[in-house]
Structure 1
């Protein structure tokens, strides 16, 4: 229904940051569908078409946090505003993680766990951790 209305009122799709009409959606390599774009190409919005009520993912500057956060559940809060507006939280039993976009297309990932053994799977991701105690 939304897209039917947008055919008659294209501004509904956005002016600066835009939603793509379904014919312009494209699939990413991991099966997620890109359905929206930031006006300067800084990020895209994606969703998983296999889920009935999918989460919306943000892929900023081509950096994908999906491998770090794939086994974690996003906390359904608005982005935390410190140290900047991009901070997100994720959880799974025994783990809490925080991701924040940094300068120069870097992202910091902080993970806390009830026991260091819970962190072991993250050590196998090939991430150049600054400090890792798992």
Structure 2
């Protein structure tokens, strides 16, 4: 879960994919952001102050620039 205040900072590091939002199985729009070796998905959360997000990286070194954003990671799949 990401605080909505972090979203503009995250968007400044990544490029928005110029597509209509993808509708996940529960019809919540998912926007995709990309950078070299990174793919991020962002979707609204039930709590209006937060958004759900996930980040996939080709290699963990691609996550290093995001470490300065102050995101509290809930899970890291290896």
Smaller-chain TM-score bracket: 0.7 to 0.9
C-alpha displacement of 1:73: 0.8
1:88 correspondence with 2:38:
no
C-alpha displacement of 1:84: 3.3
What are the ranges of 5 or more consecutive residues in structure 2 without an aligned counterpart? none
Instruction: Name the one with the larger helix percent.
Output: 2
| TM-score (norm. length: structure 2) | 0.77
Instruction: Name the one with the larger strand percent.
Output: 2
For the residues of structure 2 that align with 1:115 and 1:130, how far apart are their CA atoms? 19
64, 70, 86: which is aligned to 2:12? 70
For the residues of structure 2 that align with 1:121 and 1:66, how far apart are their CA atoms? 15
Equivalent residues, number: 71
Runs of 4+ aligned structure 1 residues displaced above 2 Å come to: 83-86
CA RMSD, aligned part only?
1.7
The higher radius of gyration belongs to 1
Question: Which deviates the most, 82-91 or 116-125?
Answer: 82-91
